[in-house]
Amino acid sequence: MAFSDEWSGADPHEAAEQEYLRTLVQAEADGDDRAVEAALRPRTLDEVVGQVRVRDQLGLVLEAARQRGRAPDHVLLSGPPGLGKTTLAMIVAAEMQTPLRLTSGPAITHAGDLAAILSGVNEGDVLFVDEIHRMSRPAEEMLYMAMEDFRVDVVIGKGPGATAIPLDIPPFTLVGATTRAGLLPGPLRDRFGFTAHLEYYEPGELDLIVRRSAGLLGVELTSEGAAEIASRSRGTPRIANRLLRRVRDYAQVRADGVLDRKVARAALELYEVDELGLDRLDLAVLDVLCRRFGGGPVGVSTLAVAVGEERETVEEVAEPFLVRNGMLARTPRGRVAMPAAWQHLGLTPPVESFGAQQALFDE
């Protein structure tokens, strides 16, 4: 082990630190988040910040169901990590004043797992299936029968001796969440009466979220401090809350505890999150792309080697945000730096190269 470390020249401390810095702007939850998230989650639709259209539509679905005294239609929540899918699922149960049963796609590997869950469902319960696109195919088929007919056939035994025992399920509401709606098979998707697609949040909305969280955590945050954190949160409440916690640490240890603009800026600089929310990896990708490869096009594997990262990390962690920000484009011939990237690095884009890049989009 020591031998291979020596060879790779890897410093475990540096690796751990880099990993930590990276998780700061990743939209996925880590252990630290999960504990705090429970405390910061809005509990009613009224407490939800932003997502105005989804909130209105979902509110109407729930209100109508309440008036009819029935379980609401099945709800599908889709959208990138950290935007509030789990939060909304919990709110559906809370607003209907019914228990929430929670499971996730990867936990349902056999149809039998799902049958066991369904057999425990009571009338009006909300069954939340997180990462619903990761359920096994047989379970998926059982689920859409349950959603439509409120019954399933449980197959006992194998081969010619197998028998199907019908199981009636009381009317319930399925709430599915997915970051990859495109991976859901059509028949399953079609059985949701209401589909909500969550969008990234505007800075103003993130501002409200950060202030609300600061209130709940009992920290003093100025409006400029809030704006500073909000503008670097990549449109994602989970990241906003995480940055808030790091700024709070800084304020507590190195300042007087008040999260103002100066403290927020200093803290986020320390954690290497820049004005737009770009972290060290994002900047490294842009830097290599512009300075070393003249703006591209360059293949993602080459890019990954050049920044010393795994291809997956570059593709799944750095690129989505850079693409959304209009800094990087994925073209059939490779990655290309857009004018915004050059500008952000304080460089002048070579004119002729951008003309050549334009041609790539016409392919």
Ligand X SMILES: Nc1ncnc2c1ncn2[C@@H]1O[C@H](COP(=O)(O)OP(=O)(O)OP(=O)(O)O)[C@@H](O)[C@H]1O
Is 130 in the active site? yes
Q: Which does 290 bind (CB under 5 to 8 A by kind): ligand X, Mg ion, none?
A: none
For residue 73, what is the enclosing H or E element? none
87 is a site residue for ligand X (CB under 6 A): yes
242 is a site residue for ligand X (CB under 6 A): no
Rounded Cα gap, residues 286 and 85, in angstroms: 31
78 is a site residue for ligand X (CB under 6 A): no
Q: Among 238, 242, 248, 280, which one carries the catalytic annotation?
A: 238
**Judged by CB, which is closer to ligand X: 210, or 338?**
210
Shortest Cβ 219–ligand X spacing (Å): 15
**Judged by CB, which is closer to Mg ion: 130, or 282?**
130
CA 330 to chain centre: 21
Shortest Cβ 7–ligand X spacing (Å): 37
Query: What is the number of H-type helices and E-type strands within the chain?
Result: 18, 9
Q: Among 98, 173, 178, 179, which one carries the catalytic annotation?
A: 179
Is 158 in the active site? no
* In the complex, residue closest to ligand X by CB: 84
Question: Furthest-apart CA pair in the chain: how many Å?
Answer: 75
Q: What DSSP character marks residue 221?
A: B
Rounded Cα gap, residues 98 and 21, in angstroms: 40
Alpha helices in 120-221 (DSSP H): 137-149, 186-190, 203-217
Q: How far is CA 6 from CA 336, 352, 360, in A?
A: 36, 45, 43
**Judged by CB, which is closer to ligand X: 84, or 349?**
84
Contact 277, 321 (CB under 8 A): yes
**Judged by CB, which is closer to ligand X: 131, or 319?**
131
For the record, the structure tokens of 194 come out as: 């209401």
- For 62-98, letters b (16+ CB in 10 Å) and e give beebeeeeebbbbbbbbbbebbbbbbbbbbbbebbeb
Q: Which stretch binds ligand X (CB under 6 A): 85-93, 99-107, 280-288, 297-305?
A: 85-93
105 is a site residue for ligand X (CB under 6 A): no
Q: What DSSP character marks residue 186?
A: H
86 is a site residue for ligand X (CB under 6 A): yes
* In the complex, residue closest to Mg ion by CB: 86
Contact 225, 260 (CB under 8 A): yes
By CB under 6 A, the residues from 12 to 41 that bind ligand X are: 28-29, 37, 40-41
Three-class secondary structure of residue 64 per DSSP: helix
Is 44 in the active site? no
325 is a site residue for ligand X (CB under 6 A): no
58 annotated among ligand-binding-site residues: no
Q: Which of 191, 150, 152, 188 is nearest to 171 (CA)?
A: 150
82 annotated among ligand-binding-site residues: yes
By CB under 6 A, the residues from 259 to 288 that bind ligand X are: none
**Judged by CB, which is closer to ligand X: 229, or 336?**
229
Q: Which of 328, 234, 331, 332 is nearest to 290 (CA)?
A: 328
Which stretches of the chain bind Mg ion, using CB under 5 A?
85-86
201 annotated among ligand-binding-site residues: yes
Show binding-site residues for ATP: 40-41, 82, 85-87, 148-150, 191, 201, 238
Show binding-site residues for Mg(2+): 86
- Give the residues lining the site for ligand X (CB under 6 A): 28-29, 37, 40-42, 48-51, 81-87, 177, 179, 209, 237-238, 241
The residues annotated as belonging to the active site are: 85-86, 130, 179, 238
